[in-house]
Structure 1
Amino acid sequence: MGIEIRHATPNDAPAACRLLRRSIEEGCVPDHGGRPDVLQAWLGNKTTQNVLGWLSSPSNFAVVAERDGDVVGFALLNQAGKVPLCYVRPDLLRQGVGRALLRALETQARAWNISKVHMQSPESASGFFEREGYVNAGKDKACFGLECDFLWKHLDAETVPARKRFCNCSQ
C-alpha cells in the first residue's frame, strides 16, 4: 500500500483541504448527485482557513494518510467522540486507507478515555463504516442538506452489539 498515517500538522491544511474537496466532489457523487445547492453547502466550510482552525484546535485530533509525499486521506476526531471528517482520495478507496485512518482515530479516542465514537455519514460511505464495526442507528438530517446515517461504535466491545441504540438504556 505504501501509505503512512501520521498526525496532521497546520502545514497540512492546504493539502487536506484539497483532498476533502476532491473526495466530496468526485467520490460522493451518489450522495450529492451533482446538485449545485447541496455540493456548495457541503464544500462551503472546506476552506484552507477552516482546516487550519480544525488542525490548530486542542480539542481535535487529526491524521493524514500520505503516499509519496501526497496527502491521500484525512480524518478528524474531537474530544466529544465525534468523527466529523474521514475522507480518502477517490481513486484509493477500498485499499485500506480509510481503515488505517479510523484505527488511528480510535486509538486516540481510547487515549482520551472515550468509549463511544459517533458520526454522521453519507449513505454511500455507511457500508464501509459498518464493516469497521460501526452500528447504523438510522437516518439523521445533517450533512449539508443530505439525509445521512448516524453511526456509532463502542470501542471497548469485542463485537458489535445487535441493537441500534446509541445510549446505554435498555428500552
Structure 2
Amino acid sequence: MATASPKLALRPFLPTDAPLLAEIFRESILELTSDDYSEAQREAWISRAEDLEAFAARLSKQLTLIATFDGSPVAFASLAGNTKIDMLFVHPIVSGQGAGALLVDALEKLAGARGASSLTVDASDTARGFFEKRGYVAQQRNSVSVGDEWLANTTLSKALVKPNAQPEA
C-alpha cells in the first residue's frame, strides 16, 4: 500500500477551488498524456474545463477530494455516487510522488464505508497502468466523443474489501 509523504494531505473540495483545479486538469492533460493522445484530442479534452461554472458544478455534485503538498492543491479526484471514480488528475510537477495513490486510497475507503462492493473507473490510456497496479481489472474499451474528437479509454473495476471483513487465511 502507498504511504503518504508527511507533506501530502487531503482536504475536501470547496467551490473557490474550481479555477485552480481546472488549471491542474489542463496541465495534467497537456503534459502527461502526449504519448497516448494527439494534440487535437488533448485540446478537445481540455475544453471540458473551459466553462468554469459547469466544471465547478460537476465537482460539487460529487465527493471531491484535493491532495495538497505543503498546503497547496496539487491533485484532485472525485467519486460519482459511491461506485465510480469520475476524475483523477495530478499536476505534472508532483506526478509519481504519491498524490494520486493517496486520493484513490481515500476514495476506495470512503466508497467501501458507504457500502460499495466495487469501484469502477474509465481510465485514460495514460492512467490505465496506474489503476492496474492498484488491482483494477480491465472490463472494456471505450471511445468517447469530445467535440470533434474521439478519445479512447478503458473501464476498469476493483472489488473493495469490506471495512470489517477479516482476511482469509
> Is TM > 0.5 for Structure 1 vs Structure 2?
yes
**2:48 alignment partner, one of 25, 45, 50:** 45
**1:16 alignment partner, one of 11, 21, 30:** 21
Length-normalised TM-score, structure 2: 0.83
Regions of 4+ moved over 6 Å = none
Amino acid at match of 1:24: I
Contact 1:65 1:73 in 2 (8 A): yes
1:39 deviation in Å? Answer: 2.1
Q: Tell me which residue corresponds to 2:99.
A: 97
Give per-residue Cα distances to partners, 1:48-101, cap 9 Å, x unaligned: 2123202322xx100011113321101000115111101111121221111100
Contact 1:81 1:116 in 2 (8 A): yes
Q: Tell me which residue corresponds to 2:75.
A: 73
User: Paired residues, what number?
Assistant: 154
Alpha-carbon separation, structure 1, partners of 2:137 and 2:46: 27
Gaps of 5+ in 2: none
1:112 deviation in Å? Answer: 2.0
Q: State the percentage of identical aligned residues.
A: 30
Aligned CA RMSD, in angstroms, stands at 1.9
Alpha-carbon separation, structure 1, partners of 2:16 and 2:43: 25
Q: Tell me which residue corresponds to 1:134.
A: 136
Length-normalised TM-score, structure 1: 0.82
**2:9 alignment partner, one of 4, 9, 28:** 4
Alpha-carbon separation, structure 2, partners of 1:8 and 1:55: 8
Gaps of 5+ in 1: 159-171
